[in-house]
Amino acid sequence: MASCFSINATALPQHHHGKVNYRSNKKCLGSVRNLVKTTGVASVVSAPQESLQKGNWVKLICGASFEDVVDIRNLSLVYTLAGVDCIDCAADASVVNAVNEGIEAAREIVYLRKPWVMISVNDDEDLHFRKAEFDPEECPLDCSRPCETICPASAILLHQHQSTTEFSHGTETLNLLKGGVINERCYGCGRCSPVCPYDKIRMALYTRDAAVTAELLKRKDVDAIEIHTSGRQTAPFEGLWDDLRNSTGYLKLVAVSLPYAGDSTVSSMNTMYAMMEPHLPCLNLWQLDGRPMSGDIGRGATRESIAFAARLAAVEDKPRGFFQLAGGTNAHTVEGLKKRGLFQTTLVAENSKDNKPMPPSTASSHALIGGIAYGGYARKIVGRVLSSMQSQHGLARIEDYPEHLLEALANALDLVGTVKCYDPCTQRNFTKPEIDEIVGVGNLTGSLCWHVPLVTATLDTDTLTVGLQT
pLDDT of the chain along its 470 residues, tens only? 334 333 333 232 334 444 555 555 766 788 899 899 889 898 888 999 999 999 999 999 999 999 999 999 999 999 999 999 999 999 999 999 999 999 999 999 999 999 999 999 999 999 999 999 999 999 999 999 999 999 999 999 998 765 656 556 666 656 677 889 999 999 999 999 999 999 999 999 999 999 999 999 999 999 999 999 999 999 999 999 999 999 999 899 999 999 999 999 999 999 999 999 999 999 999 999 999 999 999 999 999 999 999 999 999 999 999 999 999 999 999 999 999 999 998 865 443 444 444 433 334 467 899 999 999 999 999 999 999 999 999 999 999 999 999 999 999 999 999 999 985 543 344 444 544 544 443 333 333 333 333 344 333 333 344 443 43
- Cα(401)–Cα(14) distance, integer angstroms: 9
Could you tell me whether strands 322-326 and 283-289 are parallel, antiparallel, or unpaired per DSSP bridges? parallel
pLDDT at 340: 95
With beta carbons less than 8 A apart as the criterion, state whether 159 and 176 touch. no
pLDDT at 172: 63
- Cα(19)–Cα(383) distance, integer angstroms: 23
Q: In which element (H, E) is residue 336 found?
A: helix 333-339
3 state SS of 227? strand
pLDDT at 30: 87
Q: CA 418: distance to chain centroid? A: 15
3 state SS of 175? strand
> What are 176's strand-pairing partners?
161
pLDDT at 60: 98
Residue range 186-199, pLDDT digits in tens? 999 999 999 999 99
Residue range 327-340, pLDDT digits in tens? 999 999 999 999 99
The count of C-alpha atoms lying within 13 angstroms of the C-alpha of 406, restricted to the half-sphere facing its C-beta, is 29
Distances (CA, A) of 11 to 403, 426, 454: 12, 24, 21
Residue 331 burial by Cβ neighbours in a 10 Å radius (0-12, 13-18, 19+): middle
pLDDT at 44: 85
146: which residues sit within 8 A by CB, 6+ positions away?
192, 195, 196, 197
What letter represents residue 213's amino acid? Answer: T
With beta carbons less than 8 A apart as the criterion, state whether 340 and 310 touch. yes
Could you tell me whether strands 6-9 and 456-459 are parallel, antiparallel, or unpaired per DSSP bridges? parallel
pLDDT at 269: 98
Backbone angles phi, psi at 312, to 5 degrees: -65, -35
Q: 324: closest CA among 130, 48, 52?
A: 52
pLDDT at 281: 93
DSSP-derived letter for residue 196 is -
Q: CA 357: distance to chain centroid? A: 26
- Cα(382)–Cα(150) distance, integer angstroms: 18
With beta carbons less than 8 A apart as the criterion, state whether 227 and 221 touch. no
DSSP secondary structure of 291-325: STT-TTT-GGGGHHHHHHHHHHHT-SSPPSSEEEE
pLDDT at 22: 56
pLDDT at 45: 86
- Cα(229)–Cα(226) distance, integer angstroms: 10
